[in-house]
Amino acid sequence: MSIGKTIGSVFSWIWSLVDGFRKIVHLLVMIFIFSIIISVLMSSSAPIPGSAALLIQPAGRLVDQMAGDPFDRALEELLGDVEAQTLVQDIVDGLEFAKDDDRITVVVLDLSAMPGGGLSKLSRIGDAIDDFQESGKKVIAKANFYSQGSYYLAARADEIYMHPDGVLILSGFGAYQNFYKSALDKLKIDWNIFRVGTYKAAVEPYMRDDMSPAYRESLSHIIEQLWSQYTTDVEAARNIEAGTIDNILENLIETVQANDNDFAQLALTAGLVDGLVTHNELQKIIVDIAGSNGDDGEYPTASLGDYLQQMRLLHGGSVAAENVAVIVAAGTIMNGTQPPGTIGGESTAKLLRQARNDDSVKAVVFRIDSGGGSAFASEVILNEVLALKAAGKPVVVSMSSVAASGGYWVSMAADSIYASPYTITGSIGIFGMFPTFQRSFEELGISTDGIGTSVWAGALRVDRALSDEAKELFQLSINKGYDNFISGVAEHRDMEKEVVDGIAQGRIWTGNDAFENGLIDGLGEIDAAILAAAELAEMDEGEFGLKYFEQELSPGEQLALDILAGADGLGLTFGALSRPSSSVERVANMLEEVLAPLVMFDDPKGMYSQCFCEFE
């Protein structure tokens, strides 16, 4: 045998060995992937016991729409690194299903991880609790510590329990924010401000070091209404004397001293809770109602997530031959395509357009939870609302906690507008801001010079002072924007323009005020809006479906998440890949929240209709 043939035989043998190894690895990878896929296909939620307590554990803030890109959020959930949020609709649906489900004997409302939520959202869940209780089943609330928001829900329960060392914190409603005028002066930044509206206070932090008297008056009117409603609702739900909560707060030190300096005992004495019990003692109380798992002394539970997954699968979708579309827009209004939790002019318009082009959709409910933002993006969305109406599809707006400024702009052309009595709306006004840093640069020894063919060349450079002509031009544009806003409200709401101007000027209103002022058509939650939309489309109750339009995962993203979820089902957890935020990162996140109002502006014309008016 020649040397060449020998070498060829050796390489052939080596290649066969490598190829065989490659095939084995390929086979193992395929077996692994198929195992994951089988795990996904065979996975299901935990079985619901024949007799169980429905465990509802809201975590994080209550929202109408989960914030963040759907793929990123789902991936973060798998990694255990997602910001806690709870959909209001999930809790409402869970209570609705459980009401007539014989397997659910009691609802346990664990409020330990819920800091709060807008009063309208809390009220909506409270109404769902009341409706559930009509079945004769109990709702038991528990927590080590109750915040003001979580206690509002607890008050609607049949029984409220707290740990003996716990605290119930009621402080009243407040509205506080940072003001930057002195800081801007020290930094030698000229923050040029243009606005229309006596009460348009979104710009005040950049021009004052405190609230203006007009804004203070407006906020006082709002928070006093909301606090009065809060205390009235809680005291009625707890069947305690009207004025009890205000009396406790006005005499808090004396009241605490009278209860041996024990905050938990104070809550019990005042009738705000029904018992101070340890975890083991509470376990026995619930076992007496829901029964026991056996020797472990635990009561059988069905978590809200598992329960909803099973019940929604069992009952099927709510889509029918004819539907009311539901589109949620939550967050700041910005230009372009934005992830859920922020309202993108283009992305939200796309959802409205999809509903318009869907022959099964006969009417649309547009759910708004926004303090506004870009005037341009608001107009883009408004155009799609008008296009829906022109296509013969009625549009009904359902206002959530906030639908003010741009949030009202996108609402005003609807056939009908519903809001909760607790909704914050109005703030009909326009502003623009243009900071220049020439004095800051001069302090550093940096100067700017040049020439242009007109006074407008280089007029909008941030390293040059804004000229008087440019300031006048800005203000003219803002004036026109405000005139367009109130003219649009007058046209779509069938009001006199002068009347609109009188209730506009950037002033915020509660849902009750808005109804009296003609800015909305009715007081009610999203269910009332859905029925109104169906009626406008001449669809009979019970004969139409609901079709939700929202940003969805692509097939590739869904497959990737299914594979990761399947791997997790096989015991390959990914939580170790995430890490807790460092102290520096947490401080940076806090700083980002403080500076967010300074950097979020993206309107091409520099005009904004925004209300920084969320408070509790």
**Active-site amino acid positions:** 200, 405
Asked whether the beta carbons of 190 and 475 are under 8 A apart, the reply is no
3-state secondary structure of 55: strand
Helix (H) or strand (E) holding 313: helix 304-315
Q: What distance lies between CA 253 and its chain's CA centroid?
A: 36
- What are residue 62's phi and psi, to 5 degrees? -80, 135
Strand ranges of the sheet holding 190-196, from the earlier edge strand across to the other edge: 190-196, 430-436, 608-610, 372-374, 333-334, 343-344
Q: In the chain, what are the helix, strand and coil shares in percent, each to the nearest 5?
A: 50, 20, 35
Distance CA 138, CA 161 (A): 13
DSSP bridge partners of 345: none
Angle between helices 345-357 and 375-390 (to 10 degrees): 0
Half-sphere exposure of 480 (CA within 13 A, CB side): 10
What one-character-per-residue DSSP string does 584-613 give? HHHHHHHHHHHHHHHH----TT--EEE---
Sequence-distant contacts of 312-316: CB under 8 A, at least 24 apart: 312/93, 315/97
Which among 120, 199, 202, 196 has a CA at the least distance from the CA of 611? 202
Give me the residue label for tokens 């905050």: 263
Which of the 8 DSSP states describes residue 524? -
Amino acid at site 19: D
DSSP bridge partners of 301: 53
Angle between helices 70-79 and 555-569 (to 10 degrees): 10
Distance CA 67, CA 82 (A): 10
Give me the residue label for tokens 């109804």: 515
3-state secondary structure of 492: helix
Amino acid at site 286: I
Amino acid at site 231: T
Distance CA 10, CA 7 (A): 5
3-state secondary structure of 82: coil
Contacting residues for 107 by C-beta, under 8 A, at least 6 apart: 53, 54, 56, 95, 98, 129, 132, 137, 138, 139, 140
Asked whether the beta carbons of 188 and 439 are under 8 A apart, the reply is yes
Relative to beta strand 608-610, strand 545-549 is: unpaired
Asked whether the beta carbons of 350 and 388 are under 8 A apart, the reply is no
Which of the 8 DSSP states describes residue 432? E
Distance CA 366, CA 330 (A): 11
Distance CA 533, CA 546 (A): 11
